Structure 1
């Protein structure tokens, strides 16, 4: 009897050390998923509240073991992508999964990533919308919802949000193959987003405290220096519509357009269209833009690791076996092409 008891204890000890026992313990810690659809918001407050509730949980699909990680554990948004034609591949197999693992929806809130994500969305809508599956379109619409919420709540990039949503609706209307019921539902959501943008109440000088200092109270020289920090002509033209003071600065200050020219174009390119004595820098800028295009600048963008072939945000990095592995920046157009290759 003693030998049997001893043998039983050894068997139990081996079972505790087995991988299956470890996995079972982890599975007990898995939190249930929570999903709340965003449908027909009656107001911006309700729309934003429901949207934030949908994104309140850690976006991880890799396995139950990933969801069992502690809330305090650092999490890196990254995904492995297919770079060869080999059928033996472990990683992202769809565009929607790549969006999920790279956490694009919640990354919209990051001001350093906002421009990059908007450019990716713009390329997908203008060039690839008819190639997307229903699941990919659903993920793309979720990103658009996040862009609208950020724009309306913070009163920034309103024209960008309106343009992207409108183009998405135009692309859906009669140009997408698939379930008519699903397309109709997506068009209804597009209408809801445009309504949220239209109902927003922009901040004005009347909303400010009478004793506080507003942006327009700053000296004209200071305003001019601030406007020179804007990275593109669209921002200058939009801010010129806000107030006559801004319009006067944009139309009269040649240094604004001169700074833009030197930022986006090389000295050799500028020399082809600018004269030393008499230069209309605004006209020169649009001429250079027509022939050479603008320089794309992103504070934080997606990189691909040269060692493990993982896509990740440069700011946060990714877990890699090689600590010194180099990485290559992935522009928005190349990122879209890689997603379509999945």
Structure 2
């Protein structure tokens, strides 16, 4: 069970004892686990023990296979693999200068596996579902607009806007991108990076992606891990 675990000493120990293999099967926790693996890839990879590293790549393999099977959020895992491959390239080139737990040949094999995963995801073809019932295009404009306003990621809006001309028109709405900017960023941050359009209005879409380069965006997860200081327990909530 992944409900509670306690008695951790290191990141690697916590990673080994938490059952992330089950967590990735839960849609509420999948994105959070991928993000955690991405953070480890960026800055904590060398702090993992040999056993934790093996567990890390086993979980990563299961995530890739899950994405290949059900095509859920491939962009997220692509970002993770890109960060991981960049980190490994730097560590392998700097072997002797940095601490790499394990044989260098094992790390080279892992890098080759990552490159293979990246190629598989690049070749991933999204299945076209045949449905004679109601489709997205059949929904009235106000409902389609409501769907777009539910997104908190600009790339999701752009992707949905590529489905039909109507969705593209709705996805280019200035108010939609303004709301997205206001959700993720503070007003004082806007003032530092104002981007006017040719008509003199603020280009909120460009603003969103410009601000994203300088400031972190808010991240939403169904479930996240919490730590109770009183009883030293990690738990999902």
TM-score (norm 2): 0.78
Question: 8 Å contact 1:144–1:164 — kept in the other structure?
Answer: no
Determine which of 112, 115, 121 is the counterpart of 2:31.
115
Match of 1:229 in 2: 150
Question: 8 Å contact 2:38–2:80 — kept in the other structure?
Answer: yes
Match of 2:15 in 1: 99
Question: 8 Å contact 2:16–2:51 — kept in the other structure?
Answer: no
Query: Residues 222-244 of structure 1, C-alpha deviation per residue, up to 9 Å, x if partnerless?
Result: 21210110112122233334444
Match of 2:118 in 1: 194
Matching of residue 257 in structure 1 with residue 177 in structure 2: yes
> For residues 137-152 of structure 1, what are the structure 2 equivalents within 5 Å?
137-152=53-68
Quick one: structure 1 residues 226 and 139, their matched pair in 2 at CA, closer, same or farther if it must change by over 3 Å? same
Determine which of 246, 265, 275 is the counterpart of 2:167.
246
Quick one: structure 1 residues 172 and 224, their matched pair in 2 at CA, closer, same or farther if it must change by over 3 Å? same
Tell me how far apart the structure 1 counterparts of residues 195 and 65 of structure 2 sit (CA, whole Å).
42
The alpha carbon displacement at 1:266 in A equals: 4.3
Question: 8 Å contact 2:228–2:234 — kept in the other structure?
Answer: yes
Question: 8 Å contact 1:78–1:313 — kept in the other structure?
Answer: yes
Task: Show structure 1 runs of 4+ deviating over 6 A.
Answer: none
Matching of residue 208 in structure 1 with residue 130 in structure 2: yes
Match of 1:183 in 2: 107
Match of 2:208 in 1: 285
The alpha carbon displacement at 1:123 in A equals: 1.4
Tell me how far apart the structure 2 counterparts of residues 188 and 284 of structure 1 sit (CA, whole Å).
37
Instruction: For residue 122 of structure 1, give the secondary structure of its aligned residue in structure 2.
Output: helix
> For residues 1-342 of structure 1, what are the structure 2 equivalents within 5 Å?
75-80=1-6, 91-173=7-89, 175-176=91-92, 177=100, 178-204=102-128, 207-209=129-131, 211-251=132-172, 253-266=173-186, 278-314=201-237
Runs (5+) with no aligned partner, structure 1: 1-74, 81-90, 315-342
The alpha carbon displacement at 1:142 in A equals: 2.1
Question: 8 Å contact 1:106–1:146 — kept in the other structure?
Answer: no
Quick one: structure 1 residues 238 and 132, their matched pair in 2 at CA, closer, same or farther if it must change by over 3 Å? farther
Question: 8 Å contact 1:77–1:102 — kept in the other structure?
Answer: no
Quick one: structure 1 residues 188 and 284, their matched pair in 2 at CA, closer, same or farther if it must change by over 3 Å? closer
Instruction: For residue 304 of structure 1, give the secondary structure of its aligned residue in structure 2.
Output: strand
State the aligned residue count.
225
The alpha carbon displacement at 1:198 in A equals: 3.9
Quick one: structure 1 residues 185 and 302, their matched pair in 2 at CA, closer, same or farther if it must change by over 3 Å? same
Tell me how far apart the structure 1 counterparts of residues 210 and 113 of structure 2 sit (CA, whole Å).
39
Tell me how far apart the structure 1 counterparts of residues 201 and 86 of structure 2 sit (CA, whole Å).
44
Tell me how far apart the structure 1 counterparts of residues 227 and 124 of structure 2 sit (CA, whole Å).
39
Higher relative contact order (CA 8 A, sep 6+): 2
* Higher Rg of the two aligned structures: 1
Instruction: For residue 81 of structure 2, give the secondary structure of its aligned residue in structure 1.
Output: helix
The alpha carbon displacement at 1:308 in A equals: 0.8
Tell me how far apart the structure 2 counterparts of residues 145 and 244 of structure 1 sit (CA, whole Å).
37
